[in-house]
Amino acid sequence: MVKSMSTSLIWRGVLAVAVGIVALAWPGITVLALVILFAIYAFIAAAIEAMKAFSSERAGPVVGHLLLGLVDVTAGIVAIAWPGPTALVLVLLVGAWAVAAGVIEVYAGFRVNKSAGTRALFFVSGLISIAFGIVLFARPGMGAVTLALLIGLFSLVYGFSALFEGIDLRHTDHKVRRAVGTPTRQGDTLASVL
């Protein structure tokens, strides 16, 4: 079981590093990929709404689910037909989310009954989030590229972290197996491992 977990972490790390490199090398393509992912999400959401509509027992929810499905299909078509404006809207949504999250974090800094360090962390992260949202609103075109670059950096950091965790977990598993006397691979004996 540990080997499958370590293998999973290693593969996740390798894939995340690859995504990070691609996102950093081609941020424009990354933004387009995000728009396409949004379109795919919208089409899947439309299919789910249609399934909900046709599995409903009453007429009221059927109409509501079909209307939501129609909105989702329209959003998917708009995203594919006009990827530039869709990317702009997605950047503005991320900006609004960042400002709202920042305001909530600053408010939490006033309301939480924790140590001064914890409150300061709420304030600093909230102010950074608000500043990030304002920058996205001020320069949404640059914000789209910045988001792609941030996704790339996050993917690299996460990828290397997962990769090193997987390797470390595999080494720890081998050390524990040697200490306990359990073979590390099928068919290994303790003498061949030592």
pLDDT at 188 over 60: no
pLDDT at 180 over 80: yes
Interatomic CA distance for residues 85 and 18, integer angstroms: 28
Sequence-ordered list of residues with C-beta below 8 angstroms from that of 15, at least 6 positions apart, any chain? 159
Does the residue 159 lie in any domain?
yes
Higher pLDDT, 170 or 183: 170
The angle, 0 to 180 degrees and rounded to 10, between the axes of the packed helices 140-180 and 83-111 is 70
How many structural domains does the chain have?
Answer: 1
pLDDT in tens, 69-90: 999 999 999 999 999 899 899 8
Q: How far is CA 3 from the centre of its chain?
A: 25
Does the residue 188 lie in any domain?
no
pLDDT at 144 over 80: yes
What pLDDT sits at residue 142?
Answer: 84
Question: Please, are residues 183 and 177 in contact by the beta-carbon 8 Å criterion?
Answer: yes
Residue 141's domain comprises 2-181
Does the residue 139 lie in any domain?
yes
Average pLDDT, the chain: 85
Q: 């594919």: which residue's tokens?
A: 80
pLDDT in tens, 2-28: 668 888 889 999 999 999 999 999 998
